[in-house]
């Protein structure tokens, strides 16, 4: 019988939930572990349903404390896509592929969440192509921060896991 809670899975789940908790601590705008949680979970949680469920649960739990907002569906959709990118990354994880996946997930997050902001009635952007351009332009500093945060957190998560696997062979993939 296959063991469900392996040391590897416990380690990965711990990283995901500690990172989600860190989202509640004071931080610069958009420098959070959100995309990194999804990418890391998608890469290292072998069961697809858990790879999707655990990062989404971590995000939802932190949102319970931070509050909900109308455009959050776009965050969750980008999160789901990023988990999928992580699943693809799990087939061949390297420094280059992890950086590329981090950048891709940040771009997807930027496009989807700012499109949702533009579509929202809460913001003053005209519903024209020019208005969409203004929305994306205004969001560039947030994109820079989100990209930096994703790259920094992924460096920590993937680097720590690589180190831990080498130090503790029980964490290596069976």
pLDDT in tens, 80-91: 999 999 999 999
Return the pLDDT at 2.
64
Residues 68 and 131: beta-carbon distance below 8 Å: no
Centroid of chain to Cα 15? 12
pLDDT exceeding 70 applies to what percent of the chain?
Answer: 98
How far is it, in rounded angstroms, from Cα 16 to Cα 151?
A: 16
Supply the DSSP string of 55-116, one letter for each residue: HHHHHHHHHHHH---TTHHHHHHHHHHHHHHHHHHTTS--HHHHHHHHHHHHHHHHHHHHHH
Tell which residue, 170, 165, 164, 157, has the closest CA to residue 43. Answer: 157
- C-alpha span between 39 and 79 (Å, rounded): 8
For 32-59, what is the mean pLDDT? Answer: 87
Q: pLDDT exceeding 90 applies to what percent of the chain?
A: 52
Which domains are assigned to the chain? 7-171 (1.10.1760)
Quote the pTM value.
0.87
pLDDT bracket for residue 1 (50, 70, 90): low
**Confidence category of residue 174, pLDDT binned at 50, 70, 90:** low
pLDDT in tens, 57-66: 888 888 888 8
140-167: pLDDT as tens digits = 999 999 999 999 999 999 999 999 989 9
């Amino acid at each position: 019988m296959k063991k469900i809670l392996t040391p590897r899975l416990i380690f990965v789940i711990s990283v995901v939930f500690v990172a989600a908790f860190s989202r509640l601590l004071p931080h610069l705008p958009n420098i959070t572990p959100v995309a990194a949680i999804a990418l890391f979970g998608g890469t290292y949680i072998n069961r697809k349903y858990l790879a999707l469920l655990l990062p989404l649960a971590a995000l939802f739990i932190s949102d319970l404390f931070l509050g909900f907002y109308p455009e959050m569906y776009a965050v969750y959709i980008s999160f789901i896509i990023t988990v999928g990118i992580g699943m693809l990354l799990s087939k061949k994880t390297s420094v280059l592929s992890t950086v590329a996946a981090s950048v891709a997930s940040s771009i997807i997050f930027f496009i989807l969440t700012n499109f949702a902001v533009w579509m929202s009635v809460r913001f003053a952007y005209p519903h024209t192509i020019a208005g969409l351009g203004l929305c994306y332009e205004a969001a560039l500093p947030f994109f820079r921060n989100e990209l930096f945060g994703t790259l920094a957190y992924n460096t920590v998560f993937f680097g720590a896991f690589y180190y831990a696997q080498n130090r503790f062979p029980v964490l290596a993939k069976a």
